[in-house]
Amino acid sequence: MPLPDLNLLVTLDVLLTEGSVAKAARRLRLSPSAMSRALARLRETLGDPLLVRAGRGLVPTPRALEIRERVSQLVQDAEAVLRPTANPDLRQLVRTFTLRSSEGFVENFGPTLIARVGADAPGVRLRFVQKPDKNSAPLREGAVDLETGVVEKTTAPELRVQALFRDRYVGVVRTGHPLTRDEITPARYAAARHITVSRESLDKGPIDEALHAFGLERIITTIVSGFAMALALARASDLIATVPERHTGSLRTGMSSFSLPFATPAFTVSMLWHPRLDADAAHRWLRASVREACAQQLADASTQGNAAET
């Protein structure tokens, strides 16, 4: 069975609205003869004359009256589908977005993001889930809408990526820790007892590689899977936690932070999403909200830091 010519729907809608071949032709910028041929095709397709002569004009048949509103709605729906995506009405938007991030991101940036989203779109819920690994499957399968983290070689190449901020590692100890009483040298840092953060329970990382250049090795006392756990332990003991500075700003409140006494590479924290959501208007708004929340939180933290120094 041949597929129907869907272009005829537009012609039919205009003919039934105008009730005139000449007026319909002018509206669609066709010649009267071309419109007459289109009407003939519609009559053949539907098996009904649709418009019949009554004096000098045309009147719709019962079949035409029956389908007129339905045809009009079909044409409007088709135009809406083919129209470029408009910005969503945020006040009316009802949707749940799932965000996956490393421990510390939610604690540090979550309150600002939740407040921003709530002010713009009160019907939107944010669902935060932990990031136990670098597997991109949740983004690919649609279980996660947005993810934050450091792009690595194992990151799926099809994912979209946008940088949020640059970060670096800093050392963190409880207030009054003996390490902070004198100059912190690579040797003193390495000789203390350390907490290391690793989702894969590895006891070596970039910090250990940097110390290796000095012929030094850390004493790893404890391995945990998240920055919040590392800082909680350091807050209540003499252990040293080495964590990303900007990623953990609010978590380090009331503790002593210090620059590492050796060079370590800075890194970029980005947000990642699947390309199928790239053009989704609501998702674009979410991505902008995450960027703005991170920028606002970092600016506020910098202002507070400068005020504390003065």
Torsion region of 17: left, alpha or beta (phi above 0 gives left; psi -120 to 50 gives alpha):
alpha
Please state the pTM of the whole predicted model: 0.71
Q: What is the pLDDT of residue 2?
A: 64
Q: What is the CATH number of domain 169-265?
A: 3.40.190.10
Contact (CB, 8 A) for 197 and 170:
no
| Residue 10 parent element (H or E) | helix 7-18
pLDDT of amino acid 203: 65
Per-residue model confidence (pLDDT) at position 165: 95
pLDDT given for residue 77 in this prediction: 81
Fold of 95-167+268-309: D-Maltodextrin-Binding Protein; domain 2 (3.40.190)
Which of 142, 260, 250 shows the shortest CA–CA distance to 209? 260
What is the pLDDT, as a whole number, of residue 153? Answer: 81
Q: Is the torsion defined by CA of 274, 279, 280, 285 positive or negative?
A: positive
Give residue 84's pLDDT. Answer: 64
Partners of 163 in beta bridges: 270
Model confidence pLDDT, tens digit, residues 89-125: 899 999 999 999 987 889 899 999 999 999 999 999 9
Q: What is the reported pLDDT for 198?
A: 85
Same fold, 7-82 and 169-265: no
Its CATH class, for the domain covering 7-82, is mainly alpha
Query: Which residue ranges make up each domain of the chain?
Result: 7-82, 95-167+268-309, 169-265
Instruction: Look at residue 168 in the predicted model and tell me its pLDDT.
Output: 94
The series of mean pLDDT values per 10 residues for the chain, 310 residues long, is 76 89 90 91 91 86 90 83 75 95 88 96 95 84 93 87 95 95 95 89 81 93 91 96 92 94 93 92 95 92 59
d(CA 126, CA 45): 50
